A = this chain, B = another copy of it.
Amino acid sequence: MSATMKAAIFVKPGTIAVEEVAKATIERDDDIVIRVVRTCVCGSDLWFFRGLSEQTPHSQIGHEAIGVVEEVGSAVASVKPDDFVVVPFPYSCGTCPVCKAGFESVCPHGGYFSACQAEYLRVPEADGTVVVVPGSPDDYDDATLASLLTISDVMSTGYHAAVSAEVKSGDTAVVMGDGAVGLCGVIAAKMRGATRIIAMSRHEDRAALAREFGATDIVPERDQAAIDKVLSMTDGYGADAVLECVGSKQSFDTALGLVRRGGVIGRVGLPHDVTISAEGTFYANIGIKGGPAPVRHYDIAGGLLDAVLSHQINPGRVFTGVYDLDHIQDAYEAMDQRNVIKALITL
C-alpha cells in the first residue's frame, strides 16, 4: 500500500475538505518533494471558493508554500534533503531567455502550483524554481516563517507591482487594493524609495497595517472621487507610479485617471473586463506593465529573502489568522468574510 498524506480538497464552492490522498512523490528526475511547513489561503483562491471561477471538483488546491526538502530527483543539483526552501507560486526552468531576463513566472517551460495546501508537495524543475533559505525552519520564529511564506507569492507580487510601476526614490506612489498584495505593495514602494505612498483603503484594519508598512496617506474614496482626491493631493498632476493590485475594470480605470502623464501603471491583479485605450495611454505617455510576479527573481536577485531575514521588512504581518490544515475550511471562510486579511496554515 502506497503512502498517503493529508491535503485540502476543493469539494464545491464554499466547501473545502481535508482528505487522505496519495503522498506527493518524485515523478521526473528534476523534481523534488518537500514536506510543507507553512501554506496559506490566497485572495485568488476565493474565486473558486465563491464559485466565480472554474475549479475541478475534488481537486487539490493552493499555490503558496515553504517547507523542507524530503526527496530529490536524480537530476537535481542545487538542493538536498533537509534543505529549507521557499516555493514560488510559479515553477520555471531557470535557464531559458525568459527566465534569464528575470521573468520566471512566464517561463514557457514552467507553470503554476495548485497543490500546496497539503502535507507534501511535488516541485517540478526544482533547480530553476526553489529559493533556498539558510538553516532549517526550527531556526526561525513564527513571525519570520510567516514573512518567508509571503515571498512565495504576495510580497513578491506586491514588489512586482512596484517594479513594474517603476517606483523610484522620491516618487509619489498610489497603491490600489488593500488585500495582502496591496499591503505588500506598500512595503515594496517604500523599499524602492517612494516618499509619499497613498494607499486606497476603506477598512480600518487594513489601513492601519498599510500605515505600519509605510503608507503616508489613506484614501477611502473610489472612482472619480478617488481620482479627484489624488489629483488634489498632487497639485493636479497625478501620481508618479500606480500599483494596481486589484484587476477590476473599476480599479484600472481609476488608476488611469490618477497617474501622472509619463507615469507607469504596474499591474498585478488578474485582469477582469479591463480595457486599455491605445490612444489614451499613448497621448499621455502612460506605460502599462506587469503580470504574474517573477517570485524567484525578486526573492534572490531582488533581495526579498535577505530583506526578510534581516527583518528590514515584516510582510508576514498580513497573516491575521492562523489555522491548522484540519481547519482550512475556517481559514477560507474567514478570508471570504474579510474577518482576516490573510489566513496562515500551519502544519
What residues make up the interface of A, taking CB atoms closer than 8 Å to B? 96-98, 101-103, 105-108, 164, 234-237, 240, 252, 260-264, 267, 270-271, 274-279, 281-292, 294
Contacts and interface: CB of A to CB of B under 8 A. Distances in A.
A278 B275 contact: yes
A261 B108 contact: yes
A156 to B, nearest CB: 13
B98 A261 contact: yes
Contacts of A282: 267, 270-271, 290-292
A86 to B, nearest CB: 20
Contacts of A270: 282
Contact of A260 (B97, B267, B292): B97
A224 B341 CA distance: 46
B164 A284 contact: no
A96 B234 CA distance: 11
14 contacts: A98-B260, A98-B262, A101-B262, A102-B262, A103-B261, A103-B285, A106-B261, A106-B284, A108-B237, A108-B261, A262-B294, A271-B279, A276-B281, A285-B292
Contacts of A278: 252, 271, 274-276
A261 B99 CA distance: 9
Given A107-B261, A276-B281, A288-B288, 12 more contacts: A98-B260, A98-B261, A98-B262, A103-B261, A103-B285, A105-B285, A271-B282, A276-B277, A281-B288, A285-B294, A287-B287, A288-B289
